[in-house]
Structure 1
Amino acid sequence: MSDRTPRSRRRPWARAGTRTRRRIAGFLALGVALLAIGGLYAVFQPTPETATAQDNTLVREGQSLYDNSCITCHGSNLQGVVGRGPSLIGVGESSVYFQVSTGRMPLKAQGAQAARKKVEYDEQQIDALGAYIQANGGGPTLPAGPETALVGSDLGRGGELFRLNCAQCHNFTGRGGALSSGKFAPVLDAASPDQIYAAMQVGPGNMPTFADSQLSPQEKEDIIGYIKSVSTATGPVNPGGNGLGGFGPVPEGIVAFFVGLAALIGISLWIGSRQ
């Protein structure tokens, strides 16, 4: 008689040992996979942008300016004050640049629309205010580089896009015009390329915003190029004769109407005298 344990009795213990080994192998494989994923993430993750000391100084300067001149209307946390000023969360440095560099802000008195006036801050202070608003509220930023880089060269396309998107309010050559409720579209002669680009980004007043999905940066630059080409500040060329103020077909139609009416009256009188 053999004293060896039958295979049928040893089989459950063998199966338990196999399951244990499989579990250990599975945990080891999972650990290796997690380590591999962590290593890949560490290799390919973007380098975080850390604020420089200069940036922090600019933000602190902007906060000081904000606390002295803007906090009464726009609130301590940029959330705005009812009846005084809107929230600045999400407007970005582009809105700050447009409003402050054109003298529209700080606002002297409440009205239907803030008009362009003498600028109260220098470029350094405007940059500081924009840095503070950007750091605490986020939003669109102006493209880096000189203003001349924003003036596109395709004036034909710029003129077409301007007529499709802007001429309804600013007229065909940026002469501006009246809107409802005491508001108006300003004349664009005094606006710099940066100011026009910022206005398209943030849509001040009744103006709509134009995201890059609607007008690409290059298309915005072409529009700016067209505006500058017809601006009276740079002396537009009028190959057809008198520019009639640059208001497009409206004054031309009026002139044609009165000239035609005078011609018809003259012809009628001549025919009557002949009879």
Structure 2
Amino acid sequence: MKKKQSGLLEEAKKSVLLMPSVLLLLVFFVTPILLTVYYSFTNLALSGENARQLKFIGLSNYFTMFKDRTVRISITNTLVFLLGSLIGQQVLGFIIALNMRNKNRVFRGIVGPIFLAGWIMPEVVVALCCSTFFGDSGTLNQIFSFFHLPQVEFLFAIPMLTVILANIWHGTAFSMMNFQSALDGVPADIEEAARVDGAGPFQTMIRIVLPCIKNTIATNTMLNTLSTLGVFGLIYMMTGGGPGTKTLTLPIFMYRQAFISQQLGYGTAISMILLVIGIVLSVFYTRIMRND
């Protein structure tokens, strides 16, 4: 009986200690989500009659949204931007981590910070650097001119590819650090045994190394997915969603509707698409890790 009471007392103490964390979670995470969901069913606006009289309008915002061709374009652009960024960041980050593997501390101490420089920069700074590099009179076109190659208007001819490359440069270091840590944990004796059995470098990579770090790959993909879905400043500063709608992603379209057109209710309805995409992909990645 005393042991049971003692156990209950310990559980009560743990619950009390967790209360501040739970309260902060409710205030700064759960409550904003619930308010966003609620406002997406209202006529909330920044100015005008709707700003003075908040009304519940049901699924009206969603009906308008799914009839809007621009919404479909922004969803497509978001998925293209997401896929391109994920492939680039994952592959490039893995290649860099693989080449830094088993290198001495001096080499890793020099190379690592070089790649980290792009990651620690704010999106606005990255956008300014990349705009200067890819601009009509930018560094890359100056290099083309030096070698007598035709110049390219990157931000107008291939804007989506340009912002994807900028985001890859910005986020590759995060993947590099995750893969570097995972590769350092792969047992060297297993790889050595595979080589003794006649496995080549490619077979060792496919059959030994990648299976050992598959959970890291899935986790890194999930984290990069969630961060890439929310990219706003980089694209907005480089192209503003243009030219036309070529780089118009959901965060930019949501900003336009909520703060430029001042239709906050419609803007929050658009944000729900991002939330749903993030949830679906997170569940997908989690199931992959569980199945493994």
TM-score (norm 1): 0.24
Please report the TM-score for the alignment, with normalisation by the length of structure 2.
0.23
Question: Which structure has greater helix proportion?
Answer: 2
**Larger CA Rg, structure 1 vs 2:** 1
Higher relative contact order (CA 8 A, sep 6+): 2
